[in-house]
Structure 1
Amino acid sequence: MTNILYKINKQYDQLTKSERKIADFILASPHEIINMSVQDLSETINTSTASIVRFSKKITEKGFQELKLSISRYLPEDTKQLNHFELADNESVATLKSNMLARVTDTMNCASVQINDHDIDAICKTIKHARTVFLFGYGASMIIVTDLFQKFSRIGINVRLLQETHLLMSTLASHDAHDCIIFVTNKGIHSEMLSMATIASNNHVNIITISSNDNNPLAKIADYTLIYGETDENELRMAATTSLFAQLFTVDILYYRYIALNYQNSLNLITQSKLALDEYHRYLTTIQSKH
């Protein structure tokens, strides 16, 4: 494995002016950067967070977190202070709020750079022309697909959320290229999800994945992969946090772009949805008052 500091030094002459500013800091103070957020580095060297994320992807093909991990591998053990846990024993509320805000800010900045505009538009087009849009997510990603189900339902998309895998597979068997399925997954490595994607592909159902990267088995099967970038979570995470923020940010961009491309019709449907809920609450109030 190539020493990442050597790689940065070797590519230095090919870097842009802003990238050289980032490289200069890393080469001069590698032990400092491994404990910094994107925002910290941005303020320290007076450059944009977007430039830092792009530089990180250029050097590591992933993101800022991977850059820090790559640097830490080549530092003496006594200079490393990377904490593989998300909090310390008896950590204060003030510190938790500050750290979480920094982590979420880094995550949003990274996702904003990683999300491809053309991929968003292509996926919106596929969703618009689909007879049925299926949604699926495991574990914490189930929160995201449930949110997306509620949003799509309000703008007239024929969307289905089936979490029982056998039922989903038997339902997909009667669908084809006129339909699509959206998998939300941070890593894209679940064997059961891969099996479902293979069945969908065999039936020519369009496959869309929303994931941290496109270098995973599920992304290789998919017709479209929407990438939000690697987050700072690792195998010792205590809960899905920044990955959930990244996924929610991504599906919100997808949802609002779909509305922007189908503006008047979407607004009409949202209005109808609101009127239906208001009418439901009126009937409910009437029934309750009679009792």
Structure 2
Amino acid sequence: MARSAISSIRSYYPNLSKLHQKIADFVFAQPQMVSELTINQLADKVGVSTASISRFAKAVGYNNFREFSMDLANVTTDINRDTMFKKIHPDDTPNEMAEKTFQAMIDALISTQSLLHNDRLEQIVDQILKCRQLAFFGLGGSSVAALDGYHKFLRTSINSEYYPDFDVQLMQAAKMTEKDCAIMISHSGENQQALTVLKQLQNNHVPVIAITSYGRSSLAQRADYVLLSLADQVNKTSDGMYTLIAQLALIDSLFTIVAVKLANKTEAVMDRVREAIDRTRT
């Protein structure tokens, strides 16, 4: 959990007020120092009230400032604003660009993993295990992760569905019931077509598992379960690309847990799938 405090702040940052973003920027710059301050000391240094600090801690997912401060104390000393928002420059060598790209992907995985909690994973997996049908929803760049999830879960005994077209996704959502389960993937959590599908799912009382990058997005606020996929920004346009790596890792994690719990059934399904594919290669 060494990076959860920083990761949590970043997931909420775009939707924070200007005042709370000011506090967040101060934390980003000196996380270790901030973790050692009392709420009064931090308020004095930032130039805000203690009530603002308290509201900030709650706005980024904590019950109170003490809980936030304790989590922030676990942040390693080499995590600072420069490394989190490292830029790729035109005068970088190809090897330097590749190194920064790899590092951004590694950071995305570490940040995402730091926000996983065992209890929440158990709840999500239980929901998947008991569903009649598991449907994946994702549009645009998120369709890649949705297709990957569908492809993975085809190897289990759970009935899975995914359609890339928005209209078909909407029809798919209209047919689902409370006995089913939906995994909805959206980097921003604000895609209007995705939210239209979400509304239909909720009208049918379908449990929704959201995978998104922003904890205060419309999707995250309205879903039954949320998994945050985070990425250290290289620049604004590439942020979604690095988040995709985290999305895929979350889906792989869910698949692995489900497959292990359904070991006997999964092995039987995978044997039949392999046999079917092998017949096409002879």
- The alignment's TM-score, normalised by the length of structure 1, stands at 0.68
**Higher RCO (C-alpha under 8 Å, 6+ residues apart):** 2
The equivalent of 2:98 in structure 1 is 97
Deviation for aligned residue 1:90: 4.8
1:121–1:257: 8 Å Cα contact kept in structure 2? no
Structure 1, 145-154 or 130-139: larger mean CA deviation: 130-139
**AA of the residue aligned to 2:240:** A
With over 3 angstroms needed to count, the CA separation of the structure-2 counterparts of 1:252 and 1:157, relative to structure 1, is same
Deviation for aligned residue 1:9: 5.0
Find the residue that maps to 1:176 and give its secondary structure: coil
| Unpaired segments ≥5 residues, structure 2 | 1-18, 40-44, 46-66
With over 3 angstroms needed to count, the CA separation of the structure-2 counterparts of 1:85 and 1:113, relative to structure 1, is closer
1:116–1:227: 8 Å Cα contact kept in structure 2? no
The equivalent of 2:150 in structure 1 is 149
1:280 maps onto 2:253 in alignment: no
With over 3 angstroms needed to count, the CA separation of the structure-2 counterparts of 1:59 and 1:11, relative to structure 1, is closer
1:180–1:206: 8 Å Cα contact kept in structure 2? yes
The equivalent of 2:36 in structure 1 is 12
The equivalent of 1:107 in structure 2 is 108
Deviation for aligned residue 1:10: 6.2
Q: Equivalences for 1:234-273 in 2 at 5 Å? A: 236-238=236-238, 240-273=240-273
**AA of the residue aligned to 1:161:** Y
What is the CA RMSD across the aligned residues, in angstroms?
A: 3.3
The equivalent of 2:14 in structure 1 is none
- The alignment's TM-score, normalised by the length of structure 2, stands at 0.70
The equivalent of 1:18 in structure 2 is none
The superposition leaves residues 147-191 of structure 1 with CA deviations (integer Å, 9 ceiling, x where unpaired) of 111111121221111222222223322321011211111221112
Find the residue that maps to 1:200 and give its secondary structure: helix
Aligned-residue identity in percent: 19
Report how many residues are paired. 229
**AA of the residue aligned to 2:161:** R
The superposition leaves residues 94-124 of structure 1 with CA deviations (integer Å, 9 ceiling, x where unpaired) of 1122212222222221122112222222222
Counterpart Cα distance in 2 of 1:83 and 1:104? 12
Counterpart Cα distance in 2 of 1:129 and 1:14? 46
| Unpaired segments ≥5 residues, structure 1 | 16-26, 28-53, 70-80, 283-291
Q: Equivalences for 1:127-146 in 2 at 5 Å? A: 127-146=128-147
Deviation for aligned residue 1:130: 1.6
Structure 1 segments, 4+ long, off by >3 Å, are 5-11, 54-60, 81-86
Counterpart Cα distance in 2 of 1:249 and 1:57? 27
